[in-house]
Amino acid sequence: SGPRWLWRHFASPAFLRDIMAPVGVRPSVWARAPAPAPAQRASSHTSGSVPPGVARAAPQTGHSIHLQHLPYRVPSSRRRKRAVAIASFDDTAPAVTEPKPKLTVHYYRHAGDAATFGLHVWGTRVAHATSWDAPVGAAVPELTPGAAVSTEPTFVSFEVPLLDPSSDAFVAKTGDPSLSFIVHRGDEQCAKVENFLGDADHGDRAVWIVAGNPAVFSEPPDLSKLPTGETDLGKARAIWVSEGCFALPFSVDPSKVFVELVASSDGGLVITDNGAGGVVCENGGSDVRYIPLEIDSANWSSPDAGEAGDKYPHVRAAGYAIARLPAAYLEQNYAPWLLKCQLAVQAKDVTPDGRHGRLREATSVQTHGAVDDVFGGYAGPLGVEIKKPKNFGGFGDAESSVTIRLWAPTARDVSLRVFRGPDWGDHEFEVPMNETADGVWVVEGPAEWEGKYYQYVVDVFHPWGGGAAGSFVQSVASDPYARSLSADGQRVHICDLGNQNLKPAGWDDTARWKKTTNQSSEPTDYAIYELHVRDFSAMDESTPSDLRGKYLAFAEQGTVPTEHLKALAKSGLTHVHLLPSYDFGSVPERSEHQKTVDHAWLSSLPSNSPDQQAAVASIANDDAFNWGYDPVHYGVPEGSYATNPDGDARVLEFRTMVQGLAGLGLRTIVDVVYNHTLSAGPTDRNSVLDKVVPGYYHRRNFDGHYENSTCCNNTASENLMMERLIVDDLVHWAVSYKVDGFRFDLMGHLMLRTVVKARDAIKSLTVKRNGVDGSKIYLYGEGWDYAEVSGGRVGTNASQLNLGGTGIGSFNDRLREGVMGGSPFGDPRVQGVMTGLYFHPNNFMEQGGAEAQLKRVIEDSEKVIAAMAGNLREFEFTNKDGYPTPSRDACWVGSNVGYAAQPRETVNYVSAHDNETLFDGIMLRSAVDVPLDVRCRINRLAVATVAFSQGVPFFHAGDEILRSKSLDRDSYNSGDWFNRLDYTGNSHNFGCGLPGREKNGDRYGFIGDLLGDLTMKPDRSMIQKSTQHFKEVLEIRNSTPLFRLVDAADVQRRITFYNTGPSQTPGVIVMGISDDAVDGVTKQICGKFNRLLVCLNVSPHEVTITDPNLATDLATAEMIPHPTQGTMCLDDYLLGAKCTGGGVVVPGHTACVFVEPRA
């Protein structure tokens, strides 16, 4: 996201290709093809042994992993489309002396294109399992010489050699399927059959598959009696988009086809006679209704359908037809009852005498649009509400009460299980809940319920409830609006967040304890530091051992980590952005359940050994570390960071952390992950939303399966109550925990409307009414536009290009790519303007000749120019060809390099928790003969570029200490060992072993030698110099508002770039920022300086820039180095930096700032 599979955003494409079925398959029936034999945990140990230094846990029952066991979606990874090669077994199979038994799969498509599909096959009976990209090719029947060529579709066949169960080559593997196959074309999947053969099947076998029909035929079917379309109730292709409108995935002529809705109050819907008999109910006691649907000739142009089409534009764009629920059913308010049923739509031929004939289509129904229309307007309270009179004196007061509410409009019944404590033996009683007309289930209890724990038991139809089309289930569910929990989120804790015992001293006087923090409401005045809660102190010896890796470590005075942050805050750092700190499901919360590795033993191993990563990987899913992008309960702090994960300790300690950071001079930003949930389905303990209203909270594709482009179980903020949950949750964190900002993971997967609503709700918060000032809370996130949301397909999303004018920030990946080179998806050795492109090629790969590299340097320099001007869409500068160009056309016309409307909407960065650290990225890209001190200098140059750019600067924790993760590209589950932060400077993590094989194994060939070279490991003096430089550039930025302009028009007036156009000296960026009226500035904003000149030289050589425009603008100016420059980080290079005579001299690999002091 067998053992828990945890996925961060970008899964290895090779890993996915080799073991996974395609996107778009329902998780409960996923199957995994056999993976390659796993690498040994450590090179010196045999398979199955535990490496030295690894703490053994209690024995666990072993079994092979099958994806159908997973309770949530398998990630598709953010991969590009792949060309699929069709291979036959004859191409690859070794010669055999005896014929093998075989399975022949005959496949038919009504469209006649069956031969364009392939067969992906795996299992213990398969002689040669296929990879996804190379399925078995189809064999088309040969024509008899002289026979007429038929234009009718025909069966094609796939032949699969089998292993005989009685042969020596056959090895049964417990839990693995005997034989499973998928018919597919690229990522388009048509049919899937699992665990097909038994061990007793020794000879040849043959089956017939008809596209769209879930039946597996053992003899050729009579196609004339089968439906002509799809009849798989395992897919939900019809979409109930509003109370009165159904969107159908097939065209309908009302004179020839009859369409009806089939509803069963107790489930059991099936299709009889292999699809020929239509939809019936197998459950004899169920109330079954067949409701005729009326085809709407106005289609999407009618008002309610048009409104639904605006909400779900991808459905309308797909050409779905609109059918209506008859008016009588609407008048009698049938929709609430129907939404509690299993639903299907079927279309049948109309015979000449008007009767229903042959079945054409049948499908289950997605209901989220109708749920919104009927129940989505509920705005009342949810979760736990504790009422106490103002003179409340104790739990016995008769006027006190606890009310618990759950929005579950599709449930048939809900009850509440109450527990006196967090342990399994603490069950006390169960009470029924009552449903209101809003679809809300309510129960009221006495004040004595406070402090107890609860779960819901929800009786509801779930599409993953079992069988081919789902069933009614009784799910034991948690509360989406939980505010406190038992360990591992097993139960919800009834907790009053207003209780004074849950507040650190002085908590309610926010202004007092935040008075030493930044008081600006303008984000360009901020400087953000991204930090993981556990990284901060987990391996710090100055922090008390019981608080290491915990919230309370941030409130410990005098420790090395807190003193480090305090010093950074004094220099101008304003905010700490914490990686996920809500309740996530990827770490055992009780310390006694967390496995460990002996770090002393790991330290004794060679710097490029594979043994460290093998040891870490062997406990990775059971240790205390994970990034945490696996949300379970959005509104509760993570329990593993608390000293006690049961109950409300996590509430008090999280608040203490926020207050502690404020005491250091820093405000708190939290990472929020509303784009997906860790789990879904009716049974997994980490499934919350999907147990309560199945199929509603998650975005579904046209087959009804949950989208998983974010990694797993994409949520659907286009649905009203998912949107409300997001907005409510953000307000809850702002008010209950007084956090100062939110960083949205994969924000582009949320609707823009949702994020704007959240912005407005937060902005409305006031100190008088809510205890917080919403104007000082900043929202920003990852505005990537990809997968099913790309281009506004499912609605206008919160992507980079759509955020302009909202005041919401997004990460500027253009700066990162320009500075570092390449992209997160390519070879990590591709160079950028600061990592040696053109000036010092690494020759590790083909990057083009000198001319091509020069062209790229100049183009990528324009990305840096745009970023330094706030990455504003309309900011105009002189481009490489000498023409005035808006930043949206930097590099080339239509590039969309610049996209922001205001500086506050740009978050500039060159490194973050994703991908390699800044130092590691430089190490990978630098040519072999680049000395370590130069690499450290490039690190400082990149940091300075972020600090000296307009917009909001963002730094990854450790940028200032040359942080390394031993070249790990994705350390989400790499443990404390690879993620270590050492603020003492006494150690450095470069060369702490080869990084995790799963994410980095394809790089071992070129990173092994690099990690083995200990001369490339920075010493303490290098680390200290980097830290001092970081403080210095923060102080320079903080010294003048000219680095923190707030208005796009002001940026255009004040900022000029020199050394541009066709005659530029490549590799040198010179930016002037004016506060002088002679330059058209209408308002003086800096009392110290009349103007600034920022110079970046990415080349290794000293360069003199003589630009006529620069000479003119500096004609009367007396420019001197910034007073802080070189005072904190002594740098001999700066002695060569000069600005005289209208020109500027910039040393190699140097960022320098010149100022014109005011008289």
Question: Is residue 1143 scored above 50 in pLDDT?
Answer: yes
Q: What's the pLDDT at 173? A: 64
Token readout for 217 is: 């035929």
Task: Work out the percent of the chain whose per-residue pLDDT is above 70.
Answer: 88
Of residues 550 and 58, more confidently modeled:
550
Average pLDDT for 908-933: 98
What is d(CA 453, CA 490) in angstroms, rounded to the nearest whole number? 9
pLDDT classification of 44: cutoffs 50, 70, 90: very low
Q: What's the pLDDT at 174? A: 62
Q: pLDDT tens digits for 783-812?
A: 999 999 999 999 999 999 999 999 999 999
What is d(CA 706, CA 764) in angstroms, rounded to the nearest whole number? 34
What is d(CA 846, CA 606) in angstroms, rounded to the nearest whole number? 31
Q: What's the pLDDT at 68? A: 29
pLDDT classification of 391: cutoffs 50, 70, 90: low
Burial 48-73, CB ≥16 within 10 A → b, else e:
eeebbbbeeeeeeeeeeebbbbbbbb
User: Which residue from 782, 784, 863, 787 is spatially nearest to 822, judged by alpha carbons?
Assistant: 863
What is d(CA 675, CA 980) in angstroms, rounded to the nearest whole number? 28
Question: Is residue 1010 scored above 90 in pLDDT?
Answer: yes
What is d(CA 1092, CA 59) in angstroms, rounded to the nearest whole number? 66
What is d(CA 150, CA 152) in angstroms, rounded to the nearest whole number? 5
Helices and strands (H and E) in the chain: how many: 27, 45
The crossing angle, in degrees rounded to 10, of helices 932-947 and 813-820 is 160
1121 within 8 A of 1147, measured Cβ to Cβ = no
Question: Is residue 297 scored above 70 in pLDDT?
Answer: yes
pLDDT classification of 27: cutoffs 50, 70, 90: very low
Question: Is residue 11 scored above 70 in pLDDT?
Answer: no
Question: Is residue 37 scored above 60 in pLDDT?
Answer: no
Token readout for 280 is: 């019936």
Q: Which of 84-88, 600-604, 1089-1093, 1107-1111 has the lowest mean pLDDT?
A: 84-88
Is the Cα torsion angle 960, 965, 970, 974 positive or negative in sign? Answer: negative
The residue annotated as part of the active site, out of 671, 782, 817, 860, is: 782
CA 309 from centre of chain? 27
Q: Which residues contact 994 (CB under 8 A, 6 or more apart)?
A: 608, 609, 610, 612, 613, 966, 1000, 1004, 1007, 1008, 1011
What is d(CA 742, CA 739) in angstroms, rounded to the nearest whole number? 8
Q: What's the pLDDT at 465? A: 93
Angle 1101-1103-1106 from CA coordinates, rounded to 5°: 170
Q: What's the pLDDT at 824? A: 87
Residue 67: C-alpha distances to residues 14, 29, 504, 628, 673 (Å) = 17, 8, 45, 21, 24
Question: Is residue 497 scored above 60 in pLDDT?
Answer: yes
Question: Is residue 939 scored above 90 in pLDDT?
Answer: yes
Give me the chain's average pLDDT, please: 90
Q: What's the pLDDT at 13? A: 35
Token readout for 414 is: 């809900």
| Strands in 408-550 per DSSP E | 413-419, 427-432, 434-435, 440-446, 453-462, 471-477, 492-493, 528-531
Of residues 69 and 548, more confidently modeled:
548
Strand 1068-1074 vs strand 741-744: parallel, antiparallel, or unpaired? unpaired
Token readout for 55 is: 């703490």
The crossing angle, in degrees rounded to 10, of helices 752-763 and 720-736 is 30
Q: What's the pLDDT at 142? A: 67
The residue annotated as part of the active site, out of 525, 653, 690, 745, is: 745
Residue 113: C-alpha distances to residues 108, 109, 118, 130, 138 (Å) = 8, 6, 11, 22, 11
Radius of gyration of the chain (CA): 32
863 within 8 A of 890, measured Cβ to Cβ = yes
What is d(CA 67, CA 21) in angstroms, rounded to the nearest whole number? 9
Angle 499-555-956 from CA coordinates, rounded to 5°: 115
Residue positions counted in the chain: 1159
903 within 8 A of 872, measured Cβ to Cβ = yes
Q: What's the pLDDT at 164? A: 80
Q: What's the pLDDT at 74? A: 30
Q: What's the pLDDT at 272? A: 87
Residue 496 C-beta-side C-alpha neighbours within 13 Å: 17
pLDDT classification of 98: cutoffs 50, 70, 90: low
pLDDT classification of 225: cutoffs 50, 70, 90: confident
Of residues 93 and 220, more confidently modeled:
220
Question: Is residue 228 scored above 90 in pLDDT?
Answer: no
Q: pLDDT tens digits for 748-776?
A: 999 999 999 999 999 999 999 999 999 99
What is d(CA 315, CA 324) in angstroms, rounded to the nearest whole number? 16
Q: What's the pLDDT at 761? A: 98
Specify burial of residue 633 (Cβ count, 10 A radius: 0-12, 13-18, 19+). buried
> Residue 311 CB: number of other CB atoms within 10 A?
22
Q: pLDDT tens digits for 156-206?
A: 999 999 988 777 666 766 666 788 999 999 988 888 898 877 666 678 899
Specify the DSSP element, H or E, that contains 584. strand 582-584
Q: What's the pLDDT at 617? A: 97
Question: Is residue 914 scored above 60 in pLDDT?
Answer: yes
Residue 746: C-alpha distances to residues 467, 582, 674 (Å) = 34, 16, 8
Strand 741-744 vs strand 778-781: parallel, antiparallel, or unpaired? parallel
Q: Which residues contact 882 (CB under 8 A, 6 or more apart)?
A: 1060, 1061, 1062
3-class SS letters over 867-936: HHCCCECCCEEECCCCCEEEHHHCCCCCCCCCCECCHHHEEECCCCCCCCCHHHHHHHHCCCCCCHHHHH
Average pLDDT for 254-277: 89
What is d(CA 378, CA 1057) in angstroms, rounded to the nearest whole number? 54
Task: Work out the percent of the chain whose per-residue pLDDT is above 90.
Answer: 80
**What are the beta bridge partners of residue 381?**
none
Q: Tell me which amino acid residue 260 is.
A: E
pLDDT classification of 146: cutoffs 50, 70, 90: low
Average pLDDT for 712-741: 98
Is the Cα torsion angle 129, 132, 134, 136 positive or negative in sign? Answer: positive
Read off φ and ψ for residue 724, nearest 5 degrees: -65, -40
Residue 204: C-alpha distances to residues 164, 171, 198, 222, 783 (Å) = 10, 19, 13, 23, 54
Q: Say which residue the tokens 């923090």 belong to.
A: 517
Q: Which residues contact 286 (CB under 8 A, 6 or more apart)?
A: 264, 265, 266, 267, 268
Q: Which of 83-87, 282-286, 860-864 has the lowest mean pLDDT?
A: 83-87
788 within 8 A of 716, measured Cβ to Cβ = no
Question: Is residue 289 scored above 50 in pLDDT?
Answer: yes
Read off φ and ψ for residue 595, nearest 5 degrees: -85, 160
Q: What's the pLDDT at 143? A: 60
323 within 8 A of 248, measured Cβ to Cβ = yes
**Whether residue 998 lies in the annotated active site:** no
pLDDT classification of 87: cutoffs 50, 70, 90: very low
Question: Is residue 396 scored above 70 in pLDDT?
Answer: no
Question: Is residue 358 scored above 70 in pLDDT?
Answer: yes
pLDDT classification of 12: cutoffs 50, 70, 90: very low
**Whether residue 782 lies in the annotated active site:** yes
Token readout for 462 is: 């779930």
Specify burial of residue 920 (Cβ count, 10 A radius: 0-12, 13-18, 19+). buried
Q: What's the pLDDT at 52? A: 45
What is d(CA 446, CA 967) in angstroms, rounded to the nearest whole number? 57
Token readout for 360 is: 């054409």
Q: What's the farthest any 2 CA atoms get from each other in the chain? A: 101
Residue 382 C-beta-side C-alpha neighbours within 13 Å: 21
473-477's contacts with Cβ under 8 Å and 24+ in sequence apart are 473/682, 473/683, 475/682, 475/683, 475/687, 475/691, 476/417, 476/691, 477/687, 477/688, 477/691, 477/692
Average pLDDT for 414-430: 93
Average pLDDT for 28-38: 30
Token readout for 1094 is: 């920022």
What is d(CA 304, CA 694) in angstroms, rounded to the nearest whole number? 25
Question: Is residue 233 scored above 60 in pLDDT?
Answer: yes
Token readout for 323 is: 């059918």
755 within 8 A of 763, measured Cβ to Cβ = no
Question: Is residue 907 scored above 90 in pLDDT?
Answer: yes
439 within 8 A of 650, measured Cβ to Cβ = no
What is d(CA 801, CA 867) in angstroms, rounded to the nearest whole number? 15
Q: Which residues contact 789 (CB under 8 A, 6 or more apart)?
A: 709, 748, 749, 795, 797, 799
